[in-house]
Amino acid sequence: MNDSQTNISSADTVQPIIKIAGMHKWYGDFHVLSDINLQVLPQEKIVICGPSGSGKSTLIRCINRLEEHQRGQIIVNGTELSNDIKNIEKVRAEVGMVFQHFNLFPHLTIVDNLTLGPIWVRKTPKKEAEELAMMYLEKVQIAEQAKKFPGQLSGGQQQRVAIARSLCMNPQVMLFDEPTSALDPEMIKEVLDVMIDLAEEGMTMLVVTHEMGFAKSVADRVMFMDEGEIVEQNSPDVFFDNPQHERTKLFLSQIL
C-alpha cells in the first residue's frame, strides 16, 4: 500500500516538501492514525476525503503540529517536527492553515488580523505589512471590508479573510481543514473560487473536503482515508472512475 505514492512522484529530481514516514498517533488508547506514509511534492494539490472520524483532519493537523504524533517522522520543508518548539514555530510560519470555523481574531479588524503574522513572526515593518495585507484582501476580493471586524462579515467573507491571513505569511504549503463545511450553500462557491485561483498559481495544497467537484477539477491526487489509514490514493480520473478498494467504492457511492 505504501509503495503506491512512489510511482506518482515520477520526477526524481524534485525533493518532496512534506515527508511523512511510518507515522502513528494515538488519542489515549485510541489509534487514530496508523502507519501513515506520504510525500508531497512542491506545487502538488492533494484532496483528502473519507468518512468522519477517519483521521483526515488529524493528519493535516499533524503537519503543523497542532496535533502531536507519537511515532514515525514528519519532515516539512527540511525541518523535522519534534518537541523542539523553535522548529515547530519555524514550520508553522511556512505552513498556512485554514480552519472549518475560520478562527479569525474577533477583537482585531480584518486588516489587523492579516498583519499580525507578518509583523510579529516575520518582523515586517507595519506599513509594509499593511500593503501586503491590502494586496491579499484585493486578491480575495474583500478589500473594502478591511476596517471592519470579523463579526460583521458573512461566513464566506470570513473564510476568504482567513485564507488571505494565511497567504500574508507567504507560506510554502497551505492546509485546508474542511474550509467550506461550516458555510451556507450560497457561500461555498466564493471560497472555492479563491482556492482554485490559488491552485492555479501553483500553491502546494492539502485539502480535507467533501467537495468532490473541487477534487475532480483541481487535485493532482485524491486520497481516501478510513479508520486512520490511507486506504487508496490516485489521480482523480482513476480515483473516481475506477476505485480499487471496496471501502472507497462504498464511500463514493454514498456521497456522489
Partner 1 sequence: MTNATTAKREQLKPPISNVGIIGWLKSNLFSTWYNSLLSVIMLGMLALMLPPVFQWAFVDSLWYSSAEACRNIEGACWSVVPHNFRFIILGFFPEGQEWRPILAMVLLLGLVIYSKERSRWKKSLAWLWLVNLVVMGTLMYGGVLGMPVVETSQWSGLPLTLVLSFFGMVVAYPMGIFLALGRRSKMPAIKTLCVVYIEMIRGVPLISLLFMSSIMFPLFLPEGVTIDKVLRALIAIILFTAAYIAEVVRGGLQAMPRGQYEAADSLGLNYSQTMRLIILPQALKIVIPPSVGILLSVFKDTSLVVIIALYDVLKTTMVTLSNPEWAGYSKESYIFLALLYFAFCYAMSSYSRRLERELHTGH
Q: Residue count at the site for partner 1 (CB under 8 A)? A: 29
Residue listed under C-alpha cell 494539490? 45
Q: Where are the alpha helices (DSSP H) in 123-210?
A: 126-139, 155-167, 185-200
| Nearest one of 239, 204, 209 to 221, comparing CA atoms | 239
Q: Which is nearer to partner 1, 6 or 103 (CB)?
A: 103
**Considering only residues 59, 76, 97, 163, which one is a binding residue for partner 1 as defined by CB under 8 A?**
97
The answer to whether 151 touches 106, Cβ cutoff 8 Å, is: yes
> Residue 52 is which amino acid?
S
Per 3-state DSSP, the chain is made up of helix, strand and coil in percentages (nearest 5) of: 40, 25, 35
107 binds partner 1 (CB under 8 A): yes
Sign of the Cα pseudo-torsion (73, 52, 194, 168, in order): negative
Among 8, 21, 75, 93, binds partner 1 (CB under 8 A): 93
Parallel/antiparallel/unpaired status of strands 221-226 and 204-208: unpaired
- Kindly state whether residue 87 participates in binding partner 1, applying the rule CB under 8 A: no
Secondary structure of residue 77 in the 3-state scheme: coil
> Measured from the CB atom, is 50 or 150 closer to partner 1?
150
Residue from 16, 50, 117, 179 touching partner 1 (CB under 8 A): that is 117
CB of 101 to partner 1, least distance (A): 6
Give the one residue of 27, 105, 125, 181 binding partner 1; rule: CB under 8 A: 105
Indicate whether 223 belongs to the interface with partner 1 (CB under 8 A). no
Q: Which of residues 55-74 bind partner 1 (CB under 8 A)?
A: 64-66
Residue 95 binds partner 1 (CB under 8 A) = yes
Applying CB under 8 A, the span of 1-9, 51-59, 71-79, 113-121 interacting with partner 1 comes to: 113-121
Site residues (CB under 8 A) for partner 1, limited to 137-156: 149-152
Written as nine digits, the cell of 75 is 519532515
Residue 230: CB minimum distance to partner 1, A: 23
For residues 99 and 177, the answer to whether their CB atoms sit within 8 Å is: yes
Select 5 or 166, whichever has its Cβ closest to partner 1.
166
What is the C-alpha to C-alpha distance for residues 160 and 139, in angstroms, rounded to an integer?
10
- Rounded CA-CA distance 97/149 in Å is 20
Query: At closest approach, how far in Å is the CB of 82 from partner 1?
Result: 16
Contacting residues toward partner 1, per CB under 8 A: 64-66, 85, 89-90, 92-93, 95-97, 99, 101, 103-107, 116-117, 120-121, 149-152, 165-166, 169
